[in-house]
Structure 1
């Protein structure tokens, strides 16, 4: 079946990918979690925290690392200096959702930044828009129906603005802690069912940003010292294969805050299983170690870390993606199966 894309969307997808058609992107849109980490580090090292630290950190990380990536994900709220520091050849993905959720309200419901719109963000330089939702396919219909409607509104608005959509899904179950063995047992089903839902055409999602469908801390072979392993490596690989088979559009993996070597191991496992993922949006796995260095030793030490360890982290992911990832257009049967429509010239 032919895939139709507006010229605006197609051109922006090309801007977001490397010369192999792979999304090799850096995530730096963390807001509440980054502020929390910096406040803790400031307390630990006897420093006085200010929001300027957050703004300057995003500026430095983006300035040094964006030339090594195909795209960078930033927010205008705290990442405005980072947006200006981005390499002009690197694509810009902008966050459209408010950070976090109202813990006093059932369902972890998402909401958009009220002063933003798809068109405004395009005018401000966005090559793609991203939203995050917390999703449990087993939640009550009155909760999930709101999230499905949210996804449809997001996709339809971006369709009109001719800007690609990145849709990030973080699964949860309020009965269990996210790092518990109980949740680890549920996670494969939650991630797979989420893929099956939001890969549907009606949402107009261009790129799904997915968790790996397991918790790597509970793979028995990877963690031989613990006695509560949940899955074997072969089972984890099977879950990855099922996830890839369910996708009807490009999808990428998020790092979910795991250490760099663990995320690289996950990507290699997906590659070994020939899972057709189209890249990564790697966040904390790339730069989290530098937060303490920045707070403790200052900006010069941060820049030095970024030029050495941070750059190695990024290039390490690029090397793995060159061996494992699938071009985004292969999700539609190849570039020859995509028909680009110049909507601006339609009467």
Structure 2
């Protein structure tokens, strides 16, 4: 994979000195507003509350990350507080709570050009995708990604594609039945959108297994969807599914479970190029902010939040640098 100068500069901007993506994800919208509202025991909270939460998290934690992922709806004020961290901006409207088939949509008043002018080093798109969706749905989503890939090419900025599978039957995607099919969903999605036609420069993906169904892990409570050897092979299969660099997301699990997950990847002899870690770093701060206010959140982030992200950074020492998958004259991080 050979990059243009603009795309190479963008990937360098979001990587650490070792050439690994050690990024903080904070583009969640409905998840944050709903969680804060729930803790406050109110129906909804104003946008200013979500904006302030993101500003505080960014100011405290971004200095410990290689980059931060924010959204244009609530996150642009926070982007000014990120220091030297690279900036990824989400381009899609959130469809996290939408019913299947979770068709994607973009913000009306934003474009790749405008997001780049707002300071983005990379453009991030979330696509809810299942390989065996109905043909019409599959074609709709694939054509949509092709358009965004072309828009990013025209503006010479990296295209980061986040892929999330979902239960087409309407389930929560956490039960044993879904867990058994998840490896195929993740691996085939990586294989499809790693094709050059889509113009994707970095994939953000889920672990191909659900850790709570992997035996001999602390997350497992009894039921198994795979043997330990099968789970490890699925991780290696994911690494081999694409030639594009890719990072893992934290999927809303606890910090302890995410650290165990990263160690499990290493123990499986599987490769990856970093993380975009969100709630595993800062999610406990939402309740503190809702109940005790901004100062209490800042204090929690300065201790527990920093410790959370530090543990992730230590676990990332075994991740592969981007230049292992990207052709460049000077390796990222050198």
The TM-score bracket by the shorter chain reads over 0.9
**1:267 counterpart = 2:262:** yes
Q: Find the partner of 1:14 among 5, 12, 21.
A: 12
Higher mean C-alpha displacement, 168-177 vs 140-149: 168-177
Aligned residue in 2 for 1:298: 293
Residue by residue over 1:85-119, the C-alpha shift from the partner in whole angstroms, topping out at 9 and shown as x without a partner, is: 111x1100000000116846x52110111111111
The reply on whether 1:214 has 2:212 as its aligned counterpart is no
Q: Give distance in 2, aligned partners of 1:326 and 1:196.
A: 19
In the other structure, the counterpart of 1:188 is 183
Query: How many Å separate the matches in 1 of 2:223 and 2:193?
Result: 32
Task: State the Cα distance separating 1:179 from its structure 2 match.
Answer: 1.3
- Residue 248 (structure 2) pairs with residue 253 (structure 1): yes
- Residue 55 (1) aligns with residue 54 (2): no
Residues 138-149 of structure 1: matches in 2 within 5 Å? 138-149=132-143
Alpha-carbon contact 2:36-2:286 (below 8 Å) kept: yes
* Distance of 1:287 and 1:225 partners within structure 2: 23
TM-score by length of 2: 0.94
Matched, 1:129 2:127: no
Q: Deviations over 1:163-204 (max 9, x none)?
A: 111100000122243111110111011111111101111111
Cα distance in 2 between the residues matched to 1:130 and 1:49: 26
Q: Match of 2:67?
A: 71
The Cα shift of 1:55 comes to 0.8
Q: Are 1:282 and 2:254 an aligned pair?
A: no
The 1:217/1:162 distance shift into structure 2, 3 A limit, reads same
Q: What are the residue-to-residue correspondences of 1:159-170 with 2, within 5 Å? A: 159-170=153-164
Cα 1:156/1:94, change in 2 over 3 Å: same
Deviations 1:6-36 (A, max 9, x none): 1111112111101110000000000011111
Residue ranges of structure 2 left out of the alignment (5+ in a row) = none
Correspondent of 1:23 among 18, 21, 24: 21
Distance 2:330 2:238 in 1: 23
Q: Is the 8 A contact 1:32 1:100 kept in 2?
A: no
TM-score, normalising length: structure 1: 0.91
**Cα distance between partner residues in 1 of 2:235 and 2:220:** 24
- Residue 281 of structure 1: SS of its match in structure 2? strand
Structure 1 residue 274 displacement after superposition: 2.8
| Secondary structure of 1:119 counterpart | helix
Contact 2:112 2:123 in 1 (8 A): yes
Q: Name the SS for the 2:2 alignment partner.
A: strand
Distance 1:27 1:120 in 2: 21
Q: Return the offset for 1:141.
A: 0.8
1:220–1:121 distance in 2 versus 1, CA, 3 Å: same
Contact 1:68–1:314 (CA under 8 A) maintained in structure 2: yes
Q: CA separation in 1, counterparts of 2:98 and 2:294?
A: 34
Number of equivalences: 330
1:155 paired residue number: 149
Cα distance in 2 for partners of 1:116, 1:235 equals 43
1:147-167 Cα deviation digits (max 9, x unpaired): 111111111100111111110
Larger Rg: 1
Decide which of 88, 110, 113 is 2:104's aligned counterpart.
110
Kept in 1, the 8 Å contact 2:112–2:155? The answer is yes
SS at match of 1:5: coil
Conservation of the 8 A alpha-carbon contact between 2:158 and 2:201: yes
| SS of alignment partner, residue 85 of structure 1 | coil
Preserved contact between residue 253 and residue 280 of structure 1 (Cα < 8 Å): yes
**1:4 alignment partner in structure 2:** 2
Separation in 2, partners of 1:148, 1:138: 13
